Structure 1
Amino acid sequence: MIEKGALLPMFYLPPVEYFTQLNKYKPDVWIERDEHFPKQTYRNRANIYSPDGQLALVVPVVKGSKVHTPTKDVKISYDFNWQRMHWMSLQACYRRSAYFEYYEADFAPFYEQKTTHLFDYNQQLLELLLRLLKIKTTLNYTNEYQARYPESVVDLRHAMSAKKDVTIEQKPYFQVFEERNGFLKNLSIVDLLFNQGPQAVNYL
């Protein structure tokens, strides 16, 4: 049973706010592994900045049976080549950013290898992102589902929604296409990383 710290879901290329919270509560950060997989959330989607504004990258998942599937058991679907589409989108959107080429080789393998489970894929990406951001912390994982936690635990499992408007305060940083659509808040952490590079951790 978790007694203190913060409980976060496992997201795909999580938004900036996720890392702000993770940085705030480390080392007492727990990742939810056992919840039932909710649809249309950052668990399998990330928002990046395209020439036309915000673009959602969605990792397709295998259609589950009628029984709710725990997040750790959700499988990635490879019925179409979404990896190629995501990688081409990242290249098209960030090729002009200051640091994309610097990090390109770190991310490229994730769009070639085929990982069976979404949780494992997101976990490997999260570990890479923590390393690139130079955030030193050990992540703890739940081993059973709890609907409620004591007040000493900050439950952030439903705090960040891909469907709600962004309300967090966020200081603008340079974005590649901001002259077209202005500053877009709370995009995927890769937007901050590719634009700010080693300075990203100071921004958080």
Structure 2
Amino acid sequence: MNILIHPTYFPSISHYVAMIKTDMVTLEMEDNFQKQTNRNRMYIYSPNGVQLLNIPIKHSLDRHQKYKDVRIENDFGWQKNHFKSLEAAYRTSPFFEYFEDDFRPLFEKKHEFLMDLNLETFELVNDALGIQFSIEKTTEYFHEITHLKDYRSLANGKKDTTQIEEYTQVFNEKHGFLNNLSILDLLFNEGRYAVDYLKNQQL
């Protein structure tokens, strides 16, 4: 099976459930940018419950700006804030320290384009999980597709209704289980056991 999916910022667990079951992952490179989606945000489990981490972007006068042309606004020090938030959320998780040095450099450099950053987060997570995907990239945009399984809607967190099985999260006792957060939540809590977990989930 070949699926079509958006590169997003440290994708949701549902993204990885879709990808772990496929032979080929086709990344959508030609769509227009849409605000209020996971293209530039992820959700983590903070000490206070669910927390949104948002990447600021430079606004364009073009209402139909291509996703791949979106530039990051790097004047706000968002990288440092995001990494501090990850530390506060996952410092006591079983696997944060194991992966910390792999992820830290990403937050110490400045990417110009959002797409480039998201592709790098994708590679980092895949390496951490010890998995590889056969990757293709689109060269033109199609609203409707028939030859691929279309999972592009998973980039819109509000429309993604995936329910996953519970696993142990750091602040379970305070706030209960939080569903379908960033893949980082699963990785830092389960390490490479996350791969078997993902294979057992359904979309």
Residue deviations 1:24-73, cap 9 Å, x none?
A: 12x22100011000101010000000111100000111101234111111
1:147 to 1:30, Cα distance in 2 relative to 1, 3 A? same
Paired AA for residue 190 in structure 2 = Q
1:34 and 1:169 map into 2 onto residues whose CA distance is: 29
Identity percentage of aligned residues = 41
Match of 2:128?
A: 132
Match of 1:161?
A: 156
Secondary structure of the residue aligned to 2:139 is coil
Match of 2:11?
A: 14
Secondary structure of the residue aligned to 1:6 is strand
Secondary structure of the residue aligned to 2:134 is coil
Q: For this pair of structures, how many residues does the alignment match?
A: 198
Compare the two structures and name the one with the higher helix fraction.
2
1:163 and 1:17 map into 2 onto residues whose CA distance is: 13
2:107 and 2:68 map into 1 onto residues whose CA distance is: 20
Paired AA for residue 152 in structure 2 = R
Is 1:99 the counterpart of 2:95? The answer is: yes
Secondary structure of the residue aligned to 1:140 is strand
1:7 and 1:80 map into 2 onto residues whose CA distance is: 33
Paired AA for residue 21 in structure 1 = A
Match of 1:81?
A: 77
Match of 1:31?
A: 27
Match of 1:63?
A: 59
Paired AA for residue 10 in structure 1 = P
How large is the Cα RMSD of the aligned pairs?
1.3
Residue deviations 1:46-104, cap 9 Å, x none?
A: 00001111000001111012341111111111121111110000001100000100000
Conserved 8 A contact 2:70-2:114? yes
1:104-183 to structure 2, matched below 5 A, reads: 104-150=100-146, 152-164=147-159, 167-183=161-177
Runs of 5+ unmatched residues, structure 1: none
Secondary structure of the residue aligned to 2:68 is helix
User: Alpha-carbon deviation of 1:159?
Assistant: 3.6
Paired AA for residue 116 in structure 1 = E
User: Alpha-carbon deviation of 1:161?
Assistant: 2.5
2:55 and 2:63 map into 1 onto residues whose CA distance is: 21
Runs of 5+ unmatched residues, structure 2: 199-203
Conserved 8 A contact 2:163-2:180? no
Match of 1:45?
A: 41
User: Alpha-carbon deviation of 1:160?
Assistant: 4.5
1:36 and 1:202 map into 2 onto residues whose CA distance is: 34
User: Alpha-carbon deviation of 1:163?
Assistant: 2.6
Match of 1:185?
A: 179
Secondary structure of the residue aligned to 1:169 is coil
